Structure 1
Amino acid sequence: MAIQHASSGQVIDVRPFGSRLLSEKTTALFKSEQLEVIRLVLQAGKSFPEHSVAGEITVQCLEGQLDFTAEGKSHLLNAGEMLFLARGVPHEVTAIQDSSALMTIVLSVQSR
């Protein structure tokens, strides 16, 4: 089954899930040639192991608390806080509490 992404001009609800959080899953909201936006959902104690991406990323915590580790430094992200990370930087994320976040990834990397 193909992943359904939002269309250009479509409104996307990114409000906190609240009581539905534990029944939700990580989903790609949309993807274009240059940009991908993902709604990340992690239960407390779950994590994504260290990895890197070719483009810049932002992670905005919508609810809960995330431990975002990059370049040997741990950053706690609480609801309403956002983190920017330069392209290619290895990072990992662990949910301290049941959490959801909006993650934006720049896919098209132009040489500088």
Structure 2
Amino acid sequence: MALKHAASGEVVNLLSAAESPDFISQAIVSAPRIEVMRLVLQAGKVIPGHAVAGPLTLHCLQGCVDVQAQGAWREMRDNDLMYLAEEAEHALQAKTDSIMLVTLFRPSHASSGN
């Protein structure tokens, strides 16, 4: 079953089901220029180093996550936000059960030839 993305103008509560055992990571918004994802990480979960084409933000909504970026590990806790430039290598490791909001800005391919 495909997960429903939020419609324009729709209010989405990112933490309302956080105590549920089936609370999952999912794309909240998926549009041509932006993707917004709720990333649910159990304590100890590691997301290996990777990079994406566009810039992104990581917002720790709940918990504690170590993020490796720019050659250093930094701890993110509730309400912390990190910006990463396009193609910035990064990795994550959840220290506690955590919820992150990831906003990815997709590059515009229409302007690449101008």
TM-score, normalised to structure 1, is 0.89
1:79-98 alignment runs, 5 A limit? 79-98=78-97
What do residues 23-48 of structure 1 show as CA deviations (whole Å, max 9, x unaligned)?
Answer: 41111101100000000000000011
The offset of 1:70, in angstroms, is 1.0
- % identical aligned pairs: 35
| Higher mean displacement: 100-109 or 32-41 | 100-109
The offset of 1:56, in angstroms, is 0.6
| Aligned-residue CA RMSD (Å) | 1.9
* Conserved? CA contact 1:21–1:99, under 8 Å: no
Q: What corresponds to 1:42 in structure 2?
A: 41
Q: What corresponds to 1:31 in structure 2?
A: 30
Distance (whole Å) between structure 1 residues aligned to residue 63 and residue 89 of structure 2:
23
Q: Which has the larger radius of gyration?
A: 2
Aligned to 2:86, the other structure's residue is in SS state coil
Distance (whole Å) between structure 1 residues aligned to residue 16 and residue 75 of structure 2:
18
The offset of 1:50, in angstroms, is 0.7
Q: What corresponds to 1:12 in structure 2?
A: 12
Structure 1 residues 86, 5: closer, same or farther in 2, change over 3 A?
A: same
In structure 2, give the amino acid aligned to 1:12: V
In structure 2, give the amino acid aligned to 1:63: Q
TM-score, normalised to structure 2, is 0.88
Aligned to 1:60, the other structure's residue is in SS state strand
Structure with the higher fraction of residues in helix conformation? 1
Q: What corresponds to 1:107 in structure 2?
A: 106
In structure 2, give the amino acid aligned to 1:89: A
Q: How many residues align?
A: 111
1:73 aligns with 2:72: yes
